[in-house]
Structure formats: structure tokens, C-alpha cells
């Protein structure tokens, strides 16, 4: 089935849509259908064939390339969204709700105004939603997000010096566990393995499978092994040089190449 991938910067999301027989190029700005009304996004992948089993059918359609009038509407909506965010923060203070608003997004046709916020606990925001609906005369949605979602929306630089993966290309958050850091033999120092969101680095999952495969043929650290110098305990492994270090007690430590028993003193 023919589809195009469309990115909505404000929503930090990718939509897979029917190209609707339109000639679309990468970075074209388009108006398209969504479950939340009309939205505007940018073509990130031109028309290509995708297996139906990988899609949620029926597909929404790209309606058109944005026109001059559309661009005026987009700019108007952005101004409304900015004002709505300030208004929500004021109402939050007056109602004494413990909500930290991150952003507001008015979709293209003005049928929905979406607010994203952080909160430590569940919040009863019904009064706030009513006041916002009265002021902006549209459907209001208040969505509680996590700290990872906040980083995804706001962006920043990771410890690697590059823009955050979640803000650059990740569309979903996969599960990341402390076992991944252990599997990659990283120091379990929060400042080293946590991102700016305070959670474990998403990139811990990128190479975890490779480490699992590489470690498969190595003896476990602490296990007893035989070498040409005698029996000892494995104290360290080097996945990339394909050798491991064995402590022989009084004889010292030797390095042994993977698959061999002869070692050399270090």
C-alpha cells in the first residue's frame, strides 16, 4: 500500500498517511486528516510501498499542500497556542493546581486545543478545563506526560554532545533497564547512564543486543578457567580485542585470547 510519512514538529510525532494521488516531495508542508481534526505537518518520507500489516487502517489522507491562506491560519494558531499556554499557567496558579505546563497546540481547523503538562500526582483539572473551554470555544484536552516526554518536546544536548535522540528521531520510548547498563559493563553512576530527563539513557538499548551476542562466547567474570599457566579466575573481558584477563593468584594476571588457553603476562 502506498503511504507517506508526515512529521508534526509540535506533536513530535510521525503519521503514516495515504498520499491521495498527490505528488509530494520531502519537506513539503501539507494539510492532512487525523483523529483529532485537520493538522499540518512536513513530508519526511516520500511515497513508498508499505505492508498493510504494519499500518493502522483505514489510512487518513493528505488533503493538499499548504496554501498562502493556510500559512496565515498556521501563524494565527501558533499565536493562539502561545497565549493559551500563558492563560493555562495563570489559571493553574489561581486554582492552586500542581501542574507544570509544557506546551499548548491548537490543531489546524481549531477543533482541539491540546495542553501537555507534568504533575507529581493525579490532578483534578475539571474546573481549569471548563474555564479554558469558555475562553477559547473549542474542545480542550489536558494530557499528563512524563519527564521523557518533556525532553522529547523541548529537546537539548545529550552527554554525547548530539541533539537528544528522543527529540531528533525516536517516535516511541522503548523499555530501558539497568540490566542493559550492566550487560555493557558500564559504571552504574547515575551521572553517566542517565539522560537529562533523569531516566536511563535511551541509547542504552541501541547496542544491547550486540553486546549480548559478543559476550556469548566469553567466560563469565568470576568463573574458573584453565590456561597454559594454570587455573585462575576471570577478572575482566575485552569484547572488542576478543581477549580476557585471568588472575592466577601468586603468578599474577595473564591475558588470554578468546578460544585459546595460552596467555601472556600483563
Query: Which of the listed residues 170, 185, 211 is the one where a domain comes to its end?
Result: 211
- 182, HSE (Cβ side, Cα atoms, 13 Å): 5
pLDDT at residue number 263: 53
| Residue 151 resides in a domain | no
| Residue 207 resides in a domain | yes
Residues 52 and 75 in one domain: no
| Residue 152 resides in a domain | no
Residues 113 and 140 in one domain: yes
Residues 83 and 111 in one domain: yes
Residues 105 and 82 in one domain: yes
Residues 166 and 109 in one domain: no
Residues 55 and 79 in one domain: no
C-alpha closest to that of 40 among 85, 79, 75 = 75
| Residue 140 resides in a domain | yes
Residues 61 and 96 in one domain: no
pLDDT at residue number 194: 92
Residues 61 and 80 in one domain: no
Residues 186 and 207 in one domain: yes
Residues 6 and 57 in one domain: yes
Residues 111 and 164 in one domain: no
**pTM attached to this predicted model:** 0.73
Query: Which of the listed residues 25, 45, 66 is the one where a domain comes to its end?
Result: 66
| Residue 153 resides in a domain | no
| Residue 172 resides in a domain | yes
HEC states along the chain? CEEEEEEECCCCEEEEEECCCCCCCCCCEEEECCCCCCEEEEEEEEEEECCHHHCCCCCCEEEEECCHHHHHHHHHHHHHHHHHHHHHHHHHHHCCCCCEEEEEEECCCCCEEEEEEECCCCCCCHHHHHHHHHHHCCEEEEEECCHHHHHHHHCCECCCCCECHHHHCCCCCCCCCHHHHHHCCCCCCHHHHECCCCCECHHHHCCHHHHHHHHCCCCCCCCEEEECCEEEEEEEEECCCCEEEEECHHHCEEEEECCCCCEEEC
Residues 78 and 123 in one domain: yes
pLDDT at residue number 250: 83
Query: Which of the listed residues 20, 50, 66 is the one where a domain comes to its end?
Result: 66
Domain assignment of residue 165, given as a range: 159-211
pLDDT at residue number 258: 85
pLDDT along the chain (266 residues), means of 10: 88 85 94 91 92 88 95 95 96 93 93 93 92 95 89 85 85 86 90 90 92 89 88 90 90 85 54
Considering its fold, how many domains does the chain have in total?
4
| Residue 154 resides in a domain | no
pLDDT at residue number 11: 67
| Residue 249 resides in a domain | yes
Amino acid at each position: 500500500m502506498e503511504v507517506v510519512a508526515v512529521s508534526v514538529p509540535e506533536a513530535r510525532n510521525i503519521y503514516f498517511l495515504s498520499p491521495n494521488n498527490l505528488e509530494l516531495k520531502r519537506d513539503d508542508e501539507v494539510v492532512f486528516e487525523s483523529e483529532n481534526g485537520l493538522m499540518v505537518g512536513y513530508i519526511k518520507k516520500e511515497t513508498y510501498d508499505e505492508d498493510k500489516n504494519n499500518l493502522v487502517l483505514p489510512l487518513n489522507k493528505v488533503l493538499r499542500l499548504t496554501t498562502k491562506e493556510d500559512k496565515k491560519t498556521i501563524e494565527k494558531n501558533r499565536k493562539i497556542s502561545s497565549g493559551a499556554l500563558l492563560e493555562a499557567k495563570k489559571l493553574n496558579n489561581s486554582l492552586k493546581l500542581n501542574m507544570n505546563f509544557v506546551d499548548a497546540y491548537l490543531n489546524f481547523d481549531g477543533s482541539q486545543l491540546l495542553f501537555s503538562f507534568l504533575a507529581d500526582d493525579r490532578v483534578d483539572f475539571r474546573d481549569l478545563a471548563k474555564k479554558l473551554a469558555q475562553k477559547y470555544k473549542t474542545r480542550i484536552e489536558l494530557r499528563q506526560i512524563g519527564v521523557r516526554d518533556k525532553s522529547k518536546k523541548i529537546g537539548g544536548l545529550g552527554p554525547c554532545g548530539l541533539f537528544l535522540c528522543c527529540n531528533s528521531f525516536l517516535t516511541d520510548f522503548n523499555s530501558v533497564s539497568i540490566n542493559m547498563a550492566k550487560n555493557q559493563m558500564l559504571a552504574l553512576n547515575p551521572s553517566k547512564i542517565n539522560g537529562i530527563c533523569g531516566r536511563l539513557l535511551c541509547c542504552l538499548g541501541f547496542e544491547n543486543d550486540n553486546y549480548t551476542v559478543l559476550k556469548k562466547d566469553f567466560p563469565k567474570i568470576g568463573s574458573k578457567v584453565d590456561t597454559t599457566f594454570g587455573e585462575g579466575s576471570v577478572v575482566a573481558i575485552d569484547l572488542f580485542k576478543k581477549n580476557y584477563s585471568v588472575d592466577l593468584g601468586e603468578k599474577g594476571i595473564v591475558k588470554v585470547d578468546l578460544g585459546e588457553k595460552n596467555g601472556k603476562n600483563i
